[in-house]
């Protein structure tokens, strides 16, 4: 059975003091830690080492929000996998929709050229090479959903992200389905929409690899997850947890989402 996973993406938020306070607050809100649930926080780069100290000895793990695929060298402003390992990261978010669609050079007509699947694929391979578990984000924009392109976009992003990745690593990858229209908007996908997209991704992984890899792969839902909708979303058969943005900035709210994942897991375990 897949172990539920709840990760908090702090994005470009907090300062050092507020980050520490949030981590320490989360640590006490999750004591005792709900059994059977993996939890990670992903603070901004400059605070990773400090937050690693704040969560030391707890069951909360550390993740980064991005990385570069090269190990070191003349890559001004970039951060490598070994650097992230050095400060205690176990996970790294890759291909977040803000990196694909919000941050980048602006082309004619105002289109933002952010990260593409080929770059994200190089990062994913580098993450494994340096002992980090990637959290690969995929998801369609509102225009793509409204023009019935959702499955096409997911197909392209998953195939692109996993190109040349062996089954043993694919099974360990965490994929976050994050419909762009649901991120930071307060408008979450319905549990049925999330389940449909997740089932599509899992079937695709089975096609690209095999049934065992598909069964092992953890698929998180992300996009306006909060304490009030977490249980229903995570209760879907192919939803194995959540990638949480806004609600991860409040220790009580984030802890409530983790507790909800714990309850879903306990119910599922008891009914088997």
Q: Which stretch binds ligand PGA (CB under 6 A): 64-72, 73-81, 207-215, 242-250?
A: 242-250
Residue 153 or 268 with smaller CB distance to ligand PGA: 153
184 near ligand PGA (CB under 6 A): yes
Question: What spatial distance separates the first Cα and last Cα of the chain, rounded to whole Å?
Answer: 10
9 near ligand PGA (CB under 6 A): yes
Q: Is 223 left (phi over 0), alpha (psi -120 to 50) or beta?
A: left
Task: List all residues 6 or more positions away from 12 whose beta carbon is below 8 Å from its beta carbon.
Answer: 44
Place of tokens 């004619």: 108
SS3 assignment, position 42: strand
243 near ligand PGA (CB under 6 A): yes
Return the residue of 134, 161, 179, 245 that touches ligand PGA, per CB under 6 A.
245
95 near ligand PGA (CB under 6 A): no
190 near ligand PGA (CB under 6 A): no
Specify whether 130 is catalytic. Answer: no
241 near ligand PGA (CB under 6 A): no
Total binding residues toward ligand PGA, as defined by CB under 6 A: 13
115 near ligand PGA (CB under 6 A): no
258 near ligand PGA (CB under 6 A): no
178 near ligand PGA (CB under 6 A): yes
User: CA torsion, points 117, 123, 129, 133, in degrees to nearest 10?
Assistant: -90
Q: Give Cα separations from 183 to 97, 187, 225 (angstroms).
A: 9, 8, 9
Helix ranges (DSSP H) in 148-216: 150-162, 167-170, 191-208, 211-216
User: For 63-84, b where at least 16 C-beta lie within 10 A, e where not — what string?
Assistant: bbbbbbbeeeeeeeeebbbebb
Q: Which stretch binds ligand PGA (CB under 6 A): 13-21, 22-30, 207-215, 221-229?
A: 221-229
Task: List all residues 6 or more positions away from 66 whose beta carbon is below 8 Å from its beta carbon.
Answer: 79, 92, 93, 94, 96, 99, 123
Shortest distance (Å) from residue 76 CB to ligand PGA: 26
Q: Which of 53, 96, 115, 232 is catalytic?
A: 96
236 near ligand PGA (CB under 6 A): no
Q: Which of 113, 178, 206, 232 is catalytic?
A: 178
**Which residues form the interface with ligand PGA (CB under 6 A)?**
9, 178, 183-184, 222-225, 243-247
């Amino acid at each position: 059975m897949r172990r539920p996973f709840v990760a908090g993406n702090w994005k470009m938020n907090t300062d050092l003091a507020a980050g520490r306070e949030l981590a320490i607050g989360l640590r006490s809100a999750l004591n005792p830690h709900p059994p059977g649930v993996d939890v990670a926080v992903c603070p901004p780069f400059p605070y990773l080492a400090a937050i690693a100290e704040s969560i030391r000895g707890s069951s909360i793990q550390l993740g980064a929000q991005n990385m570069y695929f090269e190990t070191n060298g003349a890559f001004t402003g970039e951060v490598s996998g070994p650097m992230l390992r050095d400060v205690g990261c176990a996970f790294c978010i890759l291909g977040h929709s803000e990196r694909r669609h919000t941050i980048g050079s602006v082309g004619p007509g105002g289109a933002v050229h952010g990260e593409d699947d080929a770059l994200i694929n190089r990062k994913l391979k580098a993450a494994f090479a340096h002992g980090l578990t990637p959290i690969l984000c995929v998801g369609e924009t509102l225009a793509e959903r409204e023009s019935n392109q959702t499955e096409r976009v997911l197909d392209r992003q998953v195939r692109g992200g996993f190109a040349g990745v062996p089954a043993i690593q694919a099974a360990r990858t965490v994929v976050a389905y994050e419909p762009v229209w649901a991120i930071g908007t307060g408008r979450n996908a319905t549990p049925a929409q999330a389940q449909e997209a997740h089932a599509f991704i899992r079937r695709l992984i089975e096609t690209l690899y095999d049934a065992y890899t598909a069964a092992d792969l953890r698929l998180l839902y992300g996009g306006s997850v909060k304490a009030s909708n977490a249980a229903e979303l995570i209760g879907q058969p192919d939803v194995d947890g959540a990638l949480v943005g806004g609600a991860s900035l409040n220790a009580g709210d984030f802890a409530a989402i983790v507790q909800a994942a714990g309850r879903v897991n306990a119910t599922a375990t008891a009914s088997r």
